[in-house]
C-alpha cells in the first residue's frame, strides 16, 4: 500500500502576499519562502543597512537566551509565540540539548509553520506545534497543545522573540499582560523587539513592515521594558541583541548598523 503524501504546497497557503515567518526566513537565507517573500526581503534590505545581519542577530540571541533559560535558570517548559519557520538551532533543539525532556510548544499564524510542525512531531514527543494567532491569548492558552502539554502550575519560559514589534499599540498591553498573568512564579518572559533609539532606519523599517505585513512598530527601550510588567529583569536588562550575554567580546561603542535595530531582555516572575 502506497503511503499517502500530504498535498504540497498546502492549499491554505496564500502566494499573493508575503508573511512574517516566510519573509524572516528569506532574510536568514532559508528555503521555506516564496518569490513574494524574497522580493520583500531583498527590497527592504536595500533600504535598511544591516537588515539581514539584524535577522541573524535576533536568531543568535534566541539561541543564547534559550540556552541560559534551559541551563542556568533550569526551565524545562517553553512556549514560543510567533516562532516562525524552523531553521538552524531551533528553540526545542537548544533547550533539549540541555535537558532532553524539556517541553516546547511553537505557535505561529503561518500555516507553513504547521506543515513543518507535523514533521517535527513525527520524531520529537517533547515538542508541539500549533497554528494560532498570538493576539488571541485566551485561545492560545486554552488550546490542548498548550494547556494539556505544559503545566502552568510550574515555571514556563514565555517567548515573544521577534514578535513584540508585530503587536500594535492598541493590543500589545492587553496581549502581553494576559500571557504574563498566566505564568506561575519562577517563570520567565523572553522578548526581543525592533527598537527606536532615534536612528532613522529603525522607524523606516517599522513603516515598511506595516505597509507590507500589516503590523510593525518600533518601540523605545523604555516601552519595551514596560511590557515586562513587574517581572525582574535579569542582567544585562533590556539591551541591543548583540549585547545580551554575547558569546564573545562586543564593543558597545562600535555596533554595526544591523546590531542597532533590535533589543532583547529576559525577566523573572517572582510572585
Supply the CATH number for residue 195's domain: 3.40.50.150
Which domain, by its residues, includes 94? Answer: 20-238+259-268
DSSP-H helix ranges across 122-159:
137-142, 144-147
CB 16 within 8 A of CB 121: no
Query: Does a structural domain hold residue 112?
Result: yes
Query: Does a structural domain hold residue 33?
Result: yes
Query: Does a structural domain hold residue 3?
Result: no
Query: Does a structural domain hold residue 6?
Result: no
Rg (CA), the chain: 18
Our count of domains for the chain comes to: 1
pLDDT of amino acid 237: 97
Low-confidence ranges of the chain (pLDDT < 70): 1-15, 88
pLDDT of amino acid 195: 96
pLDDT of amino acid 3: 39
Query: Does a structural domain hold residue 225?
Result: yes
Query: Does a structural domain hold residue 81?
Result: yes
Distances (CA, A) of 183 to 84, 156, 242: 22, 7, 28
Amino acid at each position: 500500500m502506497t503511503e499517502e503524501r500530504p498535498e504540497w504546497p498546502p492549499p491554505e497557503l496564500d502566494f499573493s502576499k508575503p508573511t512574517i515567518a516566510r519573509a524572516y526566513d528569506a532574510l536568514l537565507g532559508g528555503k521555506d519562502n516564496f518569490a513574494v517573500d524574497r522580493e520583500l526581503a531583498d527590497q527592504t534590505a536595500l533600504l535598511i543597512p544591516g537588515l539581514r545581519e539584524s535577522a541573524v542577530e535576533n536568531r543568535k540571541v534566541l539561541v543564547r537566551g534559550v540556552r541560559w533559560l534551559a541551563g542556568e535558570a533550569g526551565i524545562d517548559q517553553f512556549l514560543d509565540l510567533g516562532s516562525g519557520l524552523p531553521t538552524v538551532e531551533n528553540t526545542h533543539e537548544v533547550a533539549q540539548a540541555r535537558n532532553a525532556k524539556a517541553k516546547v510548544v511553537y505557535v505561529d499564524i503561518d500555516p507553513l509553520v504547521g506543515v513543518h510542525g507535523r514533521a517535527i512531531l513525527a520524531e520529537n514527543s517533547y515538542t508541539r506545534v500549533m497554528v494560532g494567532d498570538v493576539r488571541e491569548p485566551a485561545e492560545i492558552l486554552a488550546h490542548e497543545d498548550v494547556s494539556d502539554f505544559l503545566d502552568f502550575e510550574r515555571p514556563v519560559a514565555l517567548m515573544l522573540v521577534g514578535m513584540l514589534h508585530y503587536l500594535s499599540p492598541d493590543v500589545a498591553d492587553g496581549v502581553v499582560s494576559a500571557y504574563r498573568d498566566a505564568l506561575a512564579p519562577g517563570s520567565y518572559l523572553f522578548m526581543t523587539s525592533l527598537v527606536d533609539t532615534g536612528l532613522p532606519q529603525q522607524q523606516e523599517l517599522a513603516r515598511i513592515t506595516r505597509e507590507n505585513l500589516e503590523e510593525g512598530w518600533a518601540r523605545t527601550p523604555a516601552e519595551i521594558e514596560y511590557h515586562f510588567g513587574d517581572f525582574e529583569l535579569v542582567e544585562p536588562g533590556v539591551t541591543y541583541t548583540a549585547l545580551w550575554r554575547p558569546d564573545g567580546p562586543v564593543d558597545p561603542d562600535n555596533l554595526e548598523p544591523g546590531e542597532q535595530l533590535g533589543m532583547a531582555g529576559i525577566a523573572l516572575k517572582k510572585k
